[in-house]
Chain A
Amino acid sequence: MFKLFSLALSLSLYLSTSALAADKVFGERPNLKDTVKISQILDAPEKYLGKVIQVEGIVMDVCPMRGCWMKVKSDRKKENLFIKVNDGEMVFPMSARGKNTVIKGKLVKQVMPVKDVIEVEKARAEKKGEKFDPKSVKGPRTSYMFKPIGVVIQDK
């Protein structure tokens, strides 16, 4: 009986210390070295497509519904990298906002068809109360997002 109690106590202690650990890790733990600057990636995205790389930055925002995406601040102003996982694969907590993160993963290219770009821009204009001319959309929209393999959210 005493042995069983000791085992249960040890397990509880292990679980509580794990929960209190400062950094939050999702998936494979990144090595925290050899990170590529987000600005560098956004300047020449094609160069990094499909390659496993690491990025670092402050988490600007987290998906408030499912925790399935994050926006990471670039080292250059007015830029960010969109981090997206399939629902449930990793669930990023709201507490990640404002914290530094290192992410290991692959850059993915997405091309939005003209029809969808028009819809998005129309909705945006309506939200702002502005007029929208579909002819202002010149073609499909290319964007890049980052599919993580591993994420560490560091406690400041």
Chain B
Amino acid sequence: MSTPKKRRPLKYYNILIHRYLGYFFAGTTIVYAISGFAVNHMEDWNPNYSIAHTKQEIQPFASDEEVTQAEGEALFQQFAIKESFSPDNVFYPEEGVIEILATAQDKITIRTEAQTWQADLAQTRRRPALHLFNFLHLNSAKKLWTLYADIYAIALLLLAVTGLWMKKGKKGLLGEAGIWALAGILAPLVLVWMYYLKG
């Protein structure tokens, strides 16, 4: 004689969903949190690339409107650039400025106004890990990442909702949990009033 299956309480499934979604999306949450912190401060720094500058005085070219192969090669040698010089990658963006791309990451900007020309090699490099984190967080990949990010957004919603129902009674939503949740809503509301409604 088989015993009838005992029906599990809703709380069991609530904890189950919260726990396993938490485990599964822990990595993604860390990536989004680090990237969020990095892009929040975009006005103060570049979260994707670091740019190192090396400045040198150079001998003026024969013309500030045409860089010859020999001049380009000599310049690359001065900056210890191993790539070969290509006249196709020379730009004249404004009067008194020449830009030369050695590679996609290395650009030399030459100011030609003074008697002695100033050359600035800007070496742009991806920030390790952060560039990738921002690429994912800002959904630059689009396509299938959009789907994954949508699933993650739903998971976050479920985590929030199931989190609210973790405890019952005094420690539940009508008690301690409710006070914390309310405080968490009120704190950003003050900022909404300061910057959105008042502004």
Contacts and interface: CB of A to CB of B under 8 A. Distances in A.
Nearest to A27: B142
Contacts of A42: none
B5 to A, nearest CB: 28
Nearest to B104: A97
A110 to B, nearest CB: 18
Interface stretch (B27-35, B89-97, B167-175, B176-184): B89-97
B117 to A, nearest CB: 15
Contacts of B88: 58
A80 B104 contact: no
A65 B131 CA distance: 11
Interface in A58-97: 58, 60-61, 64-67, 71, 73, 77-78, 80, 88, 91, 94-97
A64 B51 contact: yes
Interface residues on chain A, size class: 20 to 34
B91 A60 contact: yes
Contacts of B92: 77-78
Interface string B115-148: 0000000001010000000010011100010000
Contacts of A88: 138-140
A45 interface: no
A58 B89 contact: yes
A32 B138 CA distance: 29
Contact of B91 (A64, A80, A94): A80
Contacts of B104: 94-99
B62 to A, nearest CB: 16
10 contacts: A61-B107, A65-B48, A66-B42, A80-B91, A88-B139, A88-B140, A91-B135, A94-B49, A94-B104, A97-B107
By Cβ-Cβ distance, the 10 closest A-B pairs, closest first, are: A91-B140, A97-B104, A78-B92, A98-B101, A95-B104, A60-B91, A98-B89, A64-B49, A98-B104, A77-B92
